[in-house]
A and B are shown apart, each in its own frame.
Chain A
Amino acid sequence: GEDVEQSLFLSVREGDSSVINCTYTDSSSTYLYWYKQEPGAGLQLLTYIFSNMDMKQDQRLTVLLNKKDKHLSLRIADTQTGDSAIYFCAESLRSSGSARQLTFGSGTQLTVLP
């Protein structure tokens, strides 16, 4: 299967941490990605993690990967109003030949309350 699942909505208070969760299906995924989409804009690559890693930290962002449970999470520390957006996780699946393609989750709408 190629379903990547995320919860649709998350609300947090400014200054709190946000945790966005994602489950994926293909254990052969080599890279897993987090993208951010602000209103009326395209997707912006936030970070990615290689499948042989458990954790990756990049400033306020922490990605955790549990390969056994096929679970990926994105933690945003000290969440700001500018972090309000839709967050997509994506897994990289083999398509045809050597090509790989991204399969996206449904996106999680993060709302940061003042």
Chain B
Amino acid sequence: DTAVSQTPKYLVTQMGNDKSIKCEQNLGHDTMYWYKQDSKKFLKIMFSYNNKELIINETVPNRFSPKSPDKAHLNLHINSLELGDSAVYFCASSLGTLTNEQYFGPGTRLTVT
């Protein structure tokens, strides 16, 4: 009974391709997040959705487009992949937007060649 799940776990693709990462949570949370963790383990928020509405949109290239079809899902689509997009992408969820007690998925390791 996985709480926050992501697919795929690994993604290897070539520069210029378009790819999507999917995230689902079964915790009944109303807020979901995407983070990027670089090779030095530095973790930075990219987006956050609350009740399907975008509430946090950090300085991220517009090649990255999140989409939340419902409260339990938050997908990340990346156009025209670049080498610098290689990282581990984590999805997380929380109940509400104030306490930030966030639960993380296992991550998707994206490698762009």
Footprint of B on A, CB under 8 Å? 31, 33, 35, 37, 40-45, 48, 86, 88, 90, 92, 95-104, 106-107
Chain A residues with CB under 8 A of B112: none
Is B50 in contact with chain A by the CB < 8 A criterion? yes
Chain A residues with CB under 8 A of B106: 40-42
B100 touches A33 (CB 8 A): yes
- Cα distance A5–B75 when bound, in Å? 30
B3 and chain A: residue at smallest CB distance:
A42
- Once A42-B107, A95-B56 are accepted as A-B contacts, the answer to whether A101 and B45 lie under 8 Å apart by CB is yes
B104 touches A96 (CB 8 A): no
A96 touches B102 (CB 8 A): no
Footprint of A on B, CB under 8 Å? 4, 33, 40-45, 48, 50, 55-56, 90, 92, 97-107
Chain A residues with CB under 8 A of B99: 31, 92
Chain B residues with CB under 8 A of A45: 101-103
Question: Which among B48, B97, B104 is the interface contact of A42 at CB below 8 angstroms?
Answer: B104
Chain A residues with CB under 8 A of B43: 43, 88, 104, 107
B56 touches A43 (CB 8 A): no
Question: Which among A33, A43, A100 is the interface contact of B90 at CB below 8 angstroms?
Answer: A43
Chain B residues with CB under 8 A of A31: 99-100
A99 touches B48 (CB 8 A): yes
A99 touches B42 (CB 8 A): no
